[in-house]
Amino acid sequence: MDTKEEKIESLEHRVLNCTRCHLSRTRNNVIFGEGNLNAGIMLIGEAPGREEDNQGRPFVGLSGQLLDKILAACGFTRNEHVFISNIVKCRPPGNRVPTSDEASVCMPWLMMQIEIICPQILVLLGSTALKYMAGADYRITRDHGKWISIKDLSAMPVYHPAALLRDPSLKRDTWEDF
Ligand code: URA
Ligand code: SF4
Ligand code: URA
């Protein structure tokens, strides 16, 4: 029986070589995700942006800096208390929202990550994560801050950090949701 570390390493190797969708042709890096494999909390974003595509790490641009501050306000760090991943692992050109085809082709990788890491809580960062994890009937503006069940996990939808950068008045809600 492989350890969790071995399972994630072998999954990471497969994801880093993935060419299942056309985003593989324009990416510089596949962004697998990072954090503590034994964390009880998994954060799920939308898709890598330019900075992430350059560095090969999730949430390292402006949104990521804000996310780190939000985590710090909860007494958390990304290396210790959470694992961070995305619905789609390669950058959509121009940072457009991933298409539903791209999401459905890529999401089996995320499901395997969730299965291996086995967190207690999913934090859904923004409308794309909410839509693909919970379903198209959910709305981030209405449903942020409310627990929802996804299979046997509890999930908490929150605004995406990029939404907070565009509209700082959403920060107060986000503080409460976290
Ligand atoms: N936005 C996301 O949704 N994910 C990242 O990794 C970076 C920015
Ligand atoms: Fe593979 Fe996902 Fe990258 Fe598409 S976005 S190539 S499915 S890892
Ligand atoms: N709009 C988005 O795209 N995401 C949010 O989190 C909130 C509003």
> What H or E segment, with its residue span, contains residue 62?
helix 62-73
Is residue 148's pLDDT more than 80? yes
- Give the model confidence (pLDDT) of 58-115 as tens digits: 999 999 999 999 999 999 999 999 999 999 999 999 999 999 999 999 999 999 999 9
Contacts of 142 (CB under 8 A, 6+ apart): none
Ligand nearest to the CA of 144: 3
For the chain, give the mean pLDDT.
97
User: Quick one: CA dihedral 126, 132, 136, 137, positive or negative?
Assistant: negative
163 lines ligand 3 (CB under 6 A): yes
Task: Give the pLDDT of residue 45.
Answer: 98
Is residue 1's pLDDT more than 80? no
Ligand nearest to the CA of 62: 1
How far is it, in rounded angstroms, from Cα 113 to Cα 33? 9
For 128-139, what is the mean pLDDT? 98
Radius of gyration of the chain (CA): 15
Residue 49 to residues 63, 112, 160, 177: CA-CA distances in angstroms? 10, 22, 13, 24
To test the pocket of ligand 2, the residue of 89, 96, 113 to mutate (highest count of ligand atoms within 8 Å of its CB) is: 89
126 lines ligand 3 (CB under 6 A): yes
Task: Give the pLDDT of residue 83.
Answer: 98
Task: Give the pLDDT of residue 168.
Answer: 96
What's the gap in Å between 47 CA and the centre of ligand 3?
13
Residue 32 per-residue DSSP state: -
- The reported pTM is 0.95
Contacts of 149 (CB under 8 A, 6+ apart): 155
